[in-house]
Structure 1
Amino acid sequence: MRHRVAVPLVVVLMTATIGRLLVLSPQVTDGETALLEGLSQHRHVLLDTIATIVQFALSNGAVVLIIAAVIGWLAVIRRRPLDATGFGITALAGWGAVGLVKVAVERPRPALTGDPLSVVTGSTSFPSSHTGALVSIVLGLALVAATARSRHSILLWGTVGVVLVGAARMYSGAHYPLDVLAALPVAWAGVMAGASLANIVVPALAFGFGWQQAGVSVAAPAARRTGSTAPAPAQHAGTVQASRADAADSSGSHGGAARSAQRTGSSREEHRVDRAA
């Protein structure tokens, strides 16, 4: 459990450190800016359309709707509430990790000489939120995939989508190349940390609310699995009955001894009377 949290934490800290070093390294930024300037000189209507669609399709509000839609699809249509909860936790954790690093690094967005393709919200760029959001969603779906074949398909098409989104963000001039690359390890680290959290939260919620999912059995929490030191009701009742029987036997034996003593005393009195007569 420790390494499942420690490794993602180290990855996030290392990536954030690299981001801060980039902020203090204008030479690297100048080289990336020159690359983006070259891309802006080769604009095409089709590429402009794709970049614009990517910008709005993976905006903050759209990502929330996508995650909510996948959760509803898994929980209601596929009847997999445990997987739906796990996906929600892992996807949000990955996307949230990207946002935290972005706030911590505070790398300004590229400043290009030409007109921007579209208005970009936010002033920081490291790492790319659009790329990180898609990586988080893809990895979250892969973790809850029902079969290995579906998992491979999700990872394959997800990789294609991530490459497309990253290229579109650079083409639009919204992110430097290193911004896009940094989103990959940060989103992965967030998803892995979210998976560790989901392994604790999901069974507890399932046991508490009585959630059921085909092919999945939820064990009771450790506190409830621990047996009580008090005897079971049936055993306790049997013990009480046995005690009562022993008491009855004891009372019977004491009563018999008393009656025997009384008869012995009466016989002695009669014998004395006969001798006196």
Structure 2
Amino acid sequence: MNEPTRAHKTTGKPGTTAAARAQFPVLPQARHWLLLGALLCAAVVALGFTVQLLPGDTTAELNVDQDLSQHHIAVLTAVAMAINLLFGPVAGLGLIAVIAVTVLVVRRDLARAVAFGVVACSGWVASEAFKLIVARQRPNPSLLFDPLAPETGSNSFPSGHVSFAVALAFALYFLARRTRWSRLVAVAGAVMAVTVAWSRLYVGVHYPTDVVASFLAASAAVVLLAGLWNRYAPRLFDHLPAALTTPSSRR
């Protein structure tokens, strides 16, 4: 992604300085972000309808889940079940809130805290939208050798856990970029997302194409959100008191 270099202009409101506005967090943005986001969304929908129309693919994918289900190991099971809880909606939202509040308290930077929160949540929002469109049934737990967290319903495609992990990885990298930790955070985020993807297959609640689509869905959400944030967020924050939007000088 390319980062816009144009600084946000001050509005001339009392208490608002150009220096403070220049520090407004600009998210990395693709050159043709709207087109790229639309193409990624189209790819997710196309993949979802394809697997729905080809039952043979679902059978082959279920064999992957079954193979993992027949080779569960205590340590890996503990890891997978911990991920199932940590990246679920309740714990996930709590994690986002803790990090966002930490940014707000330590950095005194409301805009950066909000940016982190909306980017991290965007994966879930995208996954829920595509779940409604595709409506793919989850793997039947009764067909698995050892279902660890039996779930049913038409919300298999894509995985919300994986979509959240991918979006969270982006959000953490956006916080760490231009620091000495940026590369480490990027690698750790990628490993985290892949590990969560593996765990959803290991637990037996998603098909392989579900987790693949999650990477596309979350990326689409982040690409579109970055473009919208850079275009509209500065104007919205202009209406807030300068005391709330001026970052702390501490680093």
C-alpha displacement of 1:39: 1.1
Which is bigger in relative contact order (C-alpha 8 A, separation at least 6)? 2
The aligned counterpart of 1:143 is 174
The aligned counterpart of 1:185 is 216
1:203 counterpart (215, 220, 234): 234
C-alpha displacement of 1:149: 2.7
Contact 1:98 1:186 in 2 (8 A): yes
- Mapping for residues 88-103 of structure 1, pairs under 5 Å: 88-103=117-132
The aligned counterpart of 2:82 is 53
1:144 counterpart SS class: helix
2:206 counterpart SS class: coil
- Mapping for residues 1-277 of structure 1, pairs under 5 Å: 3-111=32-140, 112-120=143-151, 122-209=153-240, 210=242, 211-214=245-248
1:89-108 alpha-carbon deviations (Å, 9 max, x no partner)? 22222321122112211111
Aligned equivalents of 1:149, 1:178: Cα separation in 2: 35
Aligned equivalents of 2:187, 2:176: Cα separation in 1: 13
More helix by share: 1
Tell which deviates more after alignment, 20-29 or 195-204.
195-204
C-alpha displacement of 1:214: 4.8
Contact 1:169 1:175 in 2 (8 A): yes
TM-score (norm 2): 0.79
Aligned equivalents of 1:103, 1:68: Cα separation in 2: 26
TM-score (norm 1): 0.72
Contact 1:85 1:202 in 2 (8 A): no
Count of equivalent residues: 215
C-alpha displacement of 1:140: 1.5
Contact 1:206 1:212 in 2 (8 A): no
Higher Rg of the two aligned structures? 1
Q: Considering only aligned residues, what root-mean-square deviation do their CA atoms show, in Å?
A: 1.9
Contact 1:8 1:192 in 2 (8 A): yes
Aligned equivalents of 1:135, 1:146: Cα separation in 2: 16
Q: Which amino acid aligns with 1:54?
A: I
